[in-house]
């Protein structure tokens, strides 16, 4: 009985040579970059209602309000640089993105003055993306910042003025037995210490209490990018 030789057809065929791929493969970046100071702030607008959102034709013909409303969403004591949580009361549009009412925004408080404290929003997180904005907080009286009748800024000013007066008194009551140069150096040192102490106390006293539910308006700054 004769045995047929094994089929070596597949073994004899040469393997396909490796195909060289030239060029670059484009991939979506998975990194998130910090916002640049040179980037222009995006304009934030109140979302326009559709016709189906109105109950009757009379309301449809009325001019829609443009002011964006929010409330302070916590009871908090703030100092210069404190973060305050806000909750949107309106849907807003930023470019082609929509931030729904009820979303949280965060403002940085600064600019303490007599019975007034300012707040700004510089960025908003939308769908895992940082968007630069420039929103200022306005009170219901139409002025920038929040009206705070319990602000301690006036007492702060008195402390600074009192420190300066105390420094001047020390300069005028130097010892007559000391040399002029020693008297001058001591007076300058006393003035510096007194003024530094007064400013330090002033910074600590720059504190105001903001109440939950306080209404605020969000207004675009002048540097926002026009759509």
Question: What confidence tens digit (pLDDT) does each residue in 173-225 have?
Answer: 444 555 666 766 776 677 666 665 655 555 556 788 899 999 999 999 876 65
Question: What confidence tens digit (pLDDT) does each residue in 135-158 have?
Answer: 999 999 999 999 988 655 544 545
Tell me the Cα Rg of the chain.
Answer: 33
Q: Please give the mean pLDDT across all residues of the chain.
A: 74
Pair 61, 140 in one domain: yes
| pLDDT computed for residue 148 by the predictor | 87
| pLDDT computed for residue 171 by the predictor | 47
Domain of 201 in residue numbering reads as: 153-205
The count of structural domains within the chain is 2
190 neighbors 173 (Cβ within 8 angstroms): no
Exposure string over 111-128, b if 16+ CB within 10 A, otherwise e: ebeeebbbbbbebbeeee
| Of 34, 100, 94, the residue nearest 225 (C-alpha) | 94
Mean pLDDT within 57-73:
75
Residue 84 lies in a domain: yes
Question: What confidence tens digit (pLDDT) does each residue in 75-133 have?
Answer: 999 999 999 999 999 999 998 899 999 999 999 999 887 788 999 999 999 988 899 99
Which residue did the predictor score with more confidence, 141 or 60? 141
Question: What confidence tens digit (pLDDT) does each residue in 21-47 have?
Answer: 555 555 555 676 777 777 888 999 998
pTM: 0.62
Residue 7 lies in a domain: no
Residue 28 lies in a domain: no
Pair 191, 91 in one domain: no
């Amino acid at each position: 009985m004769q045995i047929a030789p094994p089929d070596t057809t597949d073994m004899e065929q040469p393997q396909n040579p490796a195909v060289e791929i030239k060029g670059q493969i484009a991939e979506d970046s998975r990194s998130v970059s910090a916002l640049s100071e040179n980037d222009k702030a995006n304009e934030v607008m109140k979302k326009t209602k559709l016709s189906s959102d109105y109950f009757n034709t009379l309301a449809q013909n009325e001019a829609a309000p443009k002011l964006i409303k929010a409330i302070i969403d916590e009871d908090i004591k703030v100092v210069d640089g404190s973060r305050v949580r806000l909750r949107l009361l309106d849907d807003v549009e930023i470019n082609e993105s929509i931030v729904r009412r009820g979303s949280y925004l965060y403002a940085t408080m600064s600019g303490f003055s007599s019975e007034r404290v300012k707040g700004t929003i510089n960025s908003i997180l939308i769908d895992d993306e940082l968007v630069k904005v420039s929103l200022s907080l306005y009170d219901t009286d139409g002025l920038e910042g929040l009206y705070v009748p319990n602000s301690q800024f006036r007492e702060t000013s008195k402390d600074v003025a009192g420190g300066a007066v105390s420094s001047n008194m020390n300069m005028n009551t130097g010892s007559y037995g000391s040399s002029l140069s020693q008297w001058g150096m001591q007076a300058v040192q006393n003035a510096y210490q007194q003024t530094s102490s007064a400013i330090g106390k002033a910074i600590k006293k720059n504190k105001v209490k903001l109440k939950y539910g306080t209404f605020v308006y969000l207004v675009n700054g002048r540097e926002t990018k026009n759509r």
